[in-house]
A and B are shown apart, each in its own frame.
Chain A
Amino acid sequence: AQSVTQLDSHVSVSEGTPVLLRCNYSSSYSPSLFWYVQHPNKGLQLLLKYTSAATLVKGINGFEAEFKKSETSFHLTKPSAHMSDAAEYFCVVSQTGANNLFFGTGTRLTVIP
């Protein structure tokens, strides 16, 4: 069985400060892990993905995530938040051969000027 848990439903940071969005996963086999972002009134967009290559994955807009098997975590980070980062972020798990993605419930990121 596969699932993801996003530990925070809402995160608020000041512009220019670091961002940390937490995600823990559960998967019976080697997972593929993704972070998607959803800006208001826009479609979901892939930020980054992990597919058993390097454990530190770099994505778009300065975001990165580290796959930690021992902690079953895939936290999303960014060194310095920008106002345009305000959005809903979804952690997602899949596995080789699976037909679908399993989405977390999302973390809403607010950036304070």
Chain B
Amino acid sequence: GAGVSQSPSNKVTEKGKDVELRCDPISGHTALYWYRQSLGQGLEFLIYFQGNSAPDKSGLPSDRFSAERTGGSVSTLTIQRTQQEDSAVYLCASSYPGGLYEQYFGPGTRLTVT
């Protein structure tokens, strides 16, 4: 079946503009995660959705970052008033619920803020 897809694959934006990144998880996976991978760094957890429960937003770095998940499927990560330090690869993953299950990662969106 289809894997996790993300769009766009690349995004270049000017400082101060808003951007939206999209994630389509694997059908049937109720858990969805967003991570950020900066150059030379490991993955940084941003936010977690599980079914209809309130999301775990503990990893969001500032109030400029927000995410939603509509209908328990597609998710959108929004970054408002982008800054240069937001430049990174944003990765989405989906899985069955719980930390014991494998997370399936999308190819990522490379965001460059100029």
Contacts and interface: CB of A to CB of B under 8 A. Distances in A.
Interface in B30-84: 33, 35, 40-45, 48, 50, 56, 59
Contacts, number: 57
Interface residues of A, number: 24
B106 A43 contact: yes
B102 A99 contact: no
B91 interface: yes
Interface residues of B, number: 25
A76 B97 CA distance: 26
B45 A49 contact: no
A43 B103 contact: no
A97 B98 contact: yes
A72 B107 CA distance: 31
Contact of B48 (A46, A51, A100): A100
13 contacts: A34-B102, A36-B105, A43-B4, A43-B91, A43-B105, A96-B98, A97-B99, A99-B56, A99-B99, A100-B45, A103-B35, A105-B40, A106-B42
Interface of B: 3-4, 33, 35, 40-45, 48, 50, 56, 59, 91, 93, 98-100, 102-103, 105-108
Given A44-B93, A98-B99, 8 more contacts: A42-B107, A43-B3, A46-B103, A94-B100, A96-B100, A99-B50, A100-B48, A100-B99
In order of increasing CB-CB distance, the 8 nearest A-B pairs are: A94-B99, A103-B42, A103-B43, A44-B105, A100-B45, A98-B99, A99-B48, A105-B42
